Amino acid sequence: MDSRPTRHDDSTTHPLIGDLESELRHLTWVTDARVRLREMGHVFVGEAFVVPADDRESVARTQE
C-alpha cells in the first residue's frame, strides 16, 4: 500500500510520474517541475512542484 507507484509487475517506477513532469515542463510559464506520487491501493495521490519562469505571474498561473 502507501508506496511509490510501480508498473503492475513491480519492475520499474510507473511512467505516469515522468509523463506528468514532462507535461508540466511543457507549459510556457514553467521552468522546471517535479512530481511526487504515492500509490494507495488502486489510487494515486500526489503533488506537483513547479518553478515558474516569472515570479510575478506564479499565483495567477497556479490557480489557472
pLDDT for res 5: 72
pLDDT tens, N- to C-terminus, the chain (64 residues): 456 676 667 677 778 889 999 999 999 888 999 999 888 877 888 999 988 887 776 666 666 6
Are residues 34 and 25 in contact, defined by beta-carbon separation less than 8 angstroms?
Answer: no
pLDDT for res 1: 47
What angle is formed at CA 21 by the lines to CA 15 and CA 23, rounded to 5 degrees? 100
pLDDT for res 24: 94
pLDDT for res 31: 92
pLDDT for res 58: 65
